[in-house]
């Protein structure tokens, strides 16, 4: 993936969404986000393992973003508390996009669900494929970088538009290990490059500002999965192969030597 292509896609306009911003709602964790964005550009950042909440209206598009590194298999879960005044059934869907805004397929999970008019809530989940350290340009494999969550109602009765709902999302990731390791890596993670925030530094210097849209990264940094059990098994396999070679050579040499016959026999 060339840097120019990524920056170009990072600067494109986001799809049209609802004009009203989702309002804040109470959260059990004081540090957890209580607001969702209404587009890719305004997506609320969340950490893995952190539950984010937001209050919105039916018909709104809700966006969050989170970092995912190579060797991890993210799982996104969402719960929507439906309004008591709903008159018809509604269908809700959760979509996940990578840093290039390519929609990623769910390996398994209930990505879309329909709730009846009397249902109190609906739960959704999406487990992505394992994030790869490198991929061909034509492939749609998940790569390290920022990922976006979009939650919305895809089928909703007109009478139920604008009713208040409460949403909760959480992202967890499983470390797959060396089984998902590949030979290659990206030069930089796919983090959108739009000048929304700046790094701390000398404000008088033109080089102090860095174009960054997403400020979150994995706890142990990007490319944290460069060491995996693949290296351990490769080393162990090499040692065993060397020992087998030495043992085979010793047996072969011993069997090829002629036996000594006493003189005069």
DSSP 8-state symbol, 179: G
On whether residue 242 sits in a domain, the answer given is no
Element (H, E) at 164: strand 164-175
Q: Which residues of 40-66 are buried (b: 16+ CB within 10 A; e: fewer)?
A: bbbbbbbbbebbbbbbbbbbbbbbbbb
Greater confidence, 261 or 175?
A: 175
Could you give the angle at the alpha carbon of 167 between the alpha carbons of 165 and 169, nearest 5°?
Answer: 170
Query: Is the confidence at residue 249, as pLDDT, over 50?
Result: yes
On whether residue 185 sits in a domain, the answer given is yes
- Supply 75's token pair: 């799982």
DSSP 8-state symbol, 224: G
Polymer length in residues for the chain: 265
Residue pLDDT, tens place only, 126-144: 999 999 888 888 888 999 9
Place of tokens 């490059």: 193
Contact criterion met (CB below 8 Å) for 25 and 79: no
Q: Which domain range does residue 153 map to?
A: 3-224
Structural domain total, the chain: 1
On whether residue 11 sits in a domain, the answer given is yes
Residue pLDDT, tens place only, 187-245: 788 888 643 443 444 444 444 444 445 567 776 667 654 555 555 656 667 777 877 88
User: How do strand 62-68 and strand 44-45 relate by DSSP bridges?
Assistant: parallel
User: How do strand 90-97 and strand 145-156 relate by DSSP bridges?
Assistant: antiparallel
User: How do strand 90-97 and strand 103-104 relate by DSSP bridges?
Assistant: antiparallel
What does 44-109 look like in DSSP terms, one character per residue?
A: EE--TT-EEEEEEETT--EEEEEEE-TTEEEEEEEEEE--TT--S-EEEEEEEE-TT-PEEPEEES
Residue pLDDT, tens place only, 79-102: 999 999 889 999 999 999 998 899
Separation of alpha carbons 18 and 20, rounded Å? 6
On whether residue 25 sits in a domain, the answer given is yes
On whether residue 236 sits in a domain, the answer given is no
On whether residue 145 sits in a domain, the answer given is yes
- With CA atoms as reference, report the closest residue to 25 among 233, 140, 168: 168
On whether residue 254 sits in a domain, the answer given is no
Place of tokens 């209050």: 55
On whether residue 245 sits in a domain, the answer given is no
């Amino acid at each position: 993936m060339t840097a120019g292509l990524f920056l170009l896609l990072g600067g494109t306009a986001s799809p049209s969404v609802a004009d009203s911003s989702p309002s804040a709602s109470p959260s059990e964790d004081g540090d957890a986000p209580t607001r969702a964005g209404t587009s890719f550009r305004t997506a609320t950042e969340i950490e893995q393992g952190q539950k984010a909440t937001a209050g919105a209206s039916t018909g709104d598009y809700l966006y969050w973003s989170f970092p995912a590194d190579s060797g991890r298999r993210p799982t996104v879960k969402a719960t929507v508390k439906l309004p008591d005044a709903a008159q018809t059934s509604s269908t809700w869907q959760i979509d996940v996009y990578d840093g290039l805004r390519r929609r990623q397929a769910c390996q398994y999970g209930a990505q879309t669900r329909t709730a009846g008019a009397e249902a109190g809530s609906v739960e959704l989940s999406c487990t992505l494929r394992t994030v790869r350290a490198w991929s061909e340009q034509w492939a749609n494999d998940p790569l390290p970088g920022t990922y976006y969550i979009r939650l919305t109602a895809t089928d909703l009765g007109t009478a139920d538009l604008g009713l208040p709902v409460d949403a909760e999302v959480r992202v967890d990731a499983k470390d797959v290990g060396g089984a998902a390791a590949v030979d290659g890596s990206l030069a930089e993670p796919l983090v959108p490059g739009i000048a929304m925030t700046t790094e701390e530094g000398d404000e008088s210097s033109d080089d102090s500002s860095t174009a960054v849209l997403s400020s979150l990264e994995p706890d142990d940094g990007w490319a944290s999965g460069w060491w995996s059990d693949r290296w351990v098994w490769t080393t162990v396999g090499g040692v065993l192969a060397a020992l087998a070679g030495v043992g085979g050579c010793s047996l072969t040499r011993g069997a090829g030597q002629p036996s000594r016959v006493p003189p005069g026999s």
